[in-house]
Amino acid sequence: MSNQPERRKPYNRDITARNKAKERERAQRREDEKISWDELTGLHGACSALFSGIPDLAMALRNPLVAEHATAEEKGELVRRGKSMTRDVQDFKAKLAEIATKHEGKSGPVSDDLQGLEIMSVGLEYNEWQESFNRVIIPTANDITETIANIVERVEKSMTPATEETKENDAT
């Protein structure tokens, strides 16, 4: 005979209680995993937020200091890139609006698998849009920003020696 305690056979009510608990857990997991149309609204908002820095860049391009101190080559480059980015931004805004129409007026959890597939398809479109935006707009914006920063740095350097000379002249 063994030193182990004797196992008691589970009663039907124990098995039923365990099964009900497992079923509640499965139901909760299914509820947690439900796809909702509202997720697409969140994706749309995230994509729209990518446009937030564009107005600042456009304002910097119109800055008279930039126009006054840029070389002819820099001016040409800024104009070319600025026009290109303006066209691209318009195209991206139109595409984003087109994607948004696919889930316009829909909210809450999906009611069937077909709707779930539709949500996933539109979600993929948002993902592709964002990747394309990052490949097209961001590098152009970075190039424009870098050119403007170089112009500002050059202006600051040209002003610094004059300021130091003024201090030296005032001291004597």
List residues bridging with 36 in a β-sheet.
109
Tell me the pLDDT tens digit for each residue of 54-80. Answer: 878 888 888 888 889 999 999 999 999
Tell me the pLDDT tens digit for each residue of 134-155. Answer: 999 999 999 999 999 999 899 8
Cβ contact 77:65 at 8 Å = no
> Which of the residues in the chain have pLDDT under 50?
none
pLDDT of residue 20: 73
Q: Which residue has the tokens 């948002």?
A: 126
